[in-house]
Amino acid sequence: MSVLWIAAAIAMVGVLILVHEFGHFLMARALGIGVETFCLGFGPMLLKKKLGQTLYAVALVPLGGFVKLVGESDQEEVSPELLSRSFAQRPVFHRLLVVLGGPLFNILFALLVFVGLGLGGSERPAAVVGEVLEGTPALAAGIRPGDRILRINGQALQSWGELLGIVHDSKGKPLTLEILRGGKNIHVSVVPRLGSREDEFGENKPAWMIGVAPDPKARVFVRQGLFQALQDGAGNTYRLVKLTFVALYKMFTGALSYKNIAGPIQIFALAGEQARTGLASALFFLAVISVNLGVINLLPIPVLDGGHVLFLTVEGITGRMPSMKAREIAQQVGLFILLALMLLAFFNDITRILKGGLLGNGQI
């Protein structure tokens, strides 16, 4: 494990935290709420500079961060000249926007990364057949390994992902494929058959298929125009948000194993590995983790942003914030749940290490 590998992992984790806290900061500033401190990291402050009424700082341990607002607690004393900028004195809607700013900025960051990757271009699996499965429509149609699929029903293809989407959306209607084989273009007709494919959770789901697998060595560089990059970026972000919510639901209901929960050790290891494989891979990984961070922070656990959203929602409905005693009890319960999840995540990480490595190859 090189020093550069560790530095890259720390930098990537730091970026995610900075994005989250910057969301709170930006929303507070936009609403005219005072910000006393904006700090990246926790522990002793190594660097600090006061600009206006805000202290900007970098602390010793870069795996955290916080934004301290003026009048953040309703128990806090605020000088008369700062009362108009006090968080606690603002309407419920303003406070909700500030609390939601962190998670929403994590999701917005992912969207911007996906759009940027589309505009800048990235390597993807090419639409080249690596294997034709026995007893499938592709075999019956005469498709062979090594065939490069250029078009389906006249629509040009670049990547394997586009091929999957068109076949699945066909709903079993015949498809005409234009194939490059041995320097010649040939046309074949194939009728997709309803089969099953494993989804992200290892569950078999119905899918229209023709019975081909991609060539793992065939890659293509895809660069998109602005409209297509925005469309695909929004689609990818939406799917990730939905996937994260579904995964959390499945874990809480027992449909998905608790062993899928990853802790900071594995995330740190994966961050370093992705940074080493290239900028595009590192940015994609950052976007995925950023969405996860944003969604998890929306859980109604008092020590998370979602807990504050819960309290503010109660205040908005009843006209008053839950009592201090009720909030203290809820925070203690929330802290217990969060610590239990962290311990479980650490346990999973250690188990993965003992079984041969966090990255699946026995090496970190």
In a domain, 328, yes or no: yes
Determine whether 21 is an active site residue: yes
The pLDDT value recorded for residue 150 is 92
Domain that holds residue 146: 123-222
Residue whose C-alpha is closest to residue 241's, from 104, 74, 364 = 104
Q: What is the pLDDT along the chain (364 residues), one digit of tens a residue?
A: 456 666 766 777 778 888 888 999 999 999 999 999 998 887 888 899 998 889 999 888 776 688 889 988 767 777 877 888 889 889 999 999 999 999 999 999 999 999 998 898 877 888 899 999 888 899 999 999 999 999 999 888 888 888 888 898 888 899 999 999 988 999 999 999 988 876 655 567 788 889 898 888 888 888 888 998 999 889 889 888 887 787 777 667 766 555 555 544 455 455 555 555 567 777 887 888 888 888 888 888 777 888 889 888 888 888 887 766 666 666 666 655 655 655 555 455 445 444 444 444 333 3
C-alpha pair distances (Å), 38 with each of 13, 47, 64, 76, 82: 17, 12, 12, 18, 18
Domain C-terminal end among 193, 222, 251: 222
Q: Are residues 229 and 325 in the same domain?
A: yes
Q: Are residues 165 and 294 in the same domain?
A: no
Q: Are residues 288 and 166 in the same domain?
A: no
DSSP string, 258-279: GGG---HHHHHHHHHHHHHH-H
In a domain, 111, yes or no: yes
> Phi then psi for 157, rounded to 5 degrees?
-115, 150
Residue type, 122: S
Specify burial of residue 183 (Cβ count, 10 A radius: 0-12, 13-18, 19+): exposed
Residue whose C-alpha is closest to residue 269's, from 342, 344, 199, 356 = 356
Q: Are residues 253 and 364 in the same domain?
A: yes
Domain C-terminal end among 222, 247, 264: 222
Structural domains counted in the chain: 2
In a domain, 113, yes or no: yes
Residue whose C-alpha is closest to residue 246's, from 256, 257, 234 = 256
Domain C-terminal end among 222, 256, 282: 222
Q: Are residues 138 and 200 in the same domain?
A: yes
